[in-house]
Amino acid sequence: MADAGGDLELEGFRAEARAWLDANFPASLKGKGGQAAAALMDGPEPNGDLLAWKKAMGAKGWGAPTWPAEYGGGGLSPQQARVLAQEMGRAGAFNPMTAGMGITMIGPTILDYGTEAQKQTHIPPIVRGDVRWCVGYSEPNAGSDLASLQMKCEDNGDKWLINGSKTWTSGAQYSDWCGALVRTDPRAKKHEGISFMLVDMNQPGIETRPIKLIAGASPFCETFFTDATAPKAALLGKLNEGWTVGKRLLQHERASQTGAAMGGRQTPIEEIAKRYVEVDGEGRIVDPDLRTRITRHSMDARVHGLTLMRAMAEAKGASGATNSASILKNSATHVAQTRAELTLEIMGVQGLGWEGAAFDGEEIEAVRGWLFGKAMSIYGGSAEIQNNIISKRILGLPDTTQST
């Protein structure tokens, strides 16, 4: 039997959310979640309407809708958060806080493993968007084999002393803090002797060097630590047990890469197609092959979205890493890369623009998004790594990489 009281309460919240969005979301940003994500990830603090929207969401706590209100979060139930997402979609709005590592990765991990003092110190400014975080994982000789990391962290009395380097640290040049995996016991087995540190980036012992990408933007950096320091309270979780903390963060990362992060609605690809290719008298795309591939893509995107919703429902209350993130990571990559390829094909010569008056903003964004999207198969755990996880941990297939 339906809970009439609960339904009425949710409808009341829906009206509240709609009214707040109508009053606070700038009309100039409607449907521009993708562009906003690029601006927030690849540049310094935004300005104008984007800054105003970020501050409004931060003050409301709705950038982290289900986080505890005592730390500045929205304090919403999962049902209310779903309603909020629906209303944001209706308004063409997006969550500006998810374009970074604070809300999507570091914050949830601190909530999982942090002391009360760490939560009180770090979660409120993350929710407000007052600080930016990066993640120090990969190293020049520790990529997919992350447990081979060698960045040293030594006990130096009243503080930790950190030396080494990280690479592919997204947004490091703009970040205030870094959540880093470090080697605290060099004599231990490689998956042991690792700890997770919360490191202040604003110190002379840390240098960042941006890595230029083919898509034009440079969100990635090389980051060098030379006698950098962190207080003893910077240790997240237990000493030498950071691998567990690190895996949990990766779960949060992969969940954020499944297509739900920025929110807002993408223009349906069939609508884009009808602006560039021939349609018949009934408004259907004339080319049957293109029509079939667009339909297949739309079905894949819908299936991915439904699977994501199911995984989120199944993960409620789960405290350990789950395997669904690996499935969804590859699914999200397939959907996004297929859409990018189709979009460029549909745009024809207009899908080859890099700059200049001959191309509008959507066309230029399509080209750069297509190029940047190639990295989806690599970052956050390569497609091959995810397939190995799926085959061994989910399907139970034998590990044929080990010698007998």
**Two tokens, residue 388:** 């190995």
Please state the separation of Cα 262 from the chain's center in Å.
Answer: 8
CB 160 within 8 A of CB 229: yes
Query: If DSSP codes are grouped into helix, strand and coil, which group holds residue 87?
Result: helix
What is the C-alpha to C-alpha distance for residues 268 and 249, in angstroms, rounded to an integer? 32
Q: Which residue has the tokens 């139970």?
A: 396
* Phi, psi angle pair for 5, to nearest 5°: -60, -40
Strand runs labelled E in 168-205: 177-183, 194-200
Please state, as a whole number, how many other Cβ atoms lie within 10 Å of the Cβ of residue 86: 13
Query: If DSSP codes are grouped into helix, strand and coil, which group holds residue 152?
Result: strand
CB 105 within 8 A of CB 179: yes
SS3 content of the chain, % helix, strand, coil (to 5): 50, 15, 35
CB 55 within 8 A of CB 129: yes
> Which among 112, 114, 227, 210 has a CA at the least distance from the CA of 163?
227
Q: Which residues contact 166 (CB under 8 A, 6 or more apart)?
A: 136, 137, 138, 139, 151, 172, 180, 222, 223, 225
**Two tokens, residue 277:** 């290719």
Provide the residue count of the chain: 404
CB 121 within 8 A of CB 111: no
Beta 133-136 vs 177-183: how paired, if at all?
parallel
Please enumerate, as own/partner, the contacts of 277-283 that have beta carbons within 8 Å and a separation of 24 or more. Answer: 277/346
Residues known to be catalytic: 253
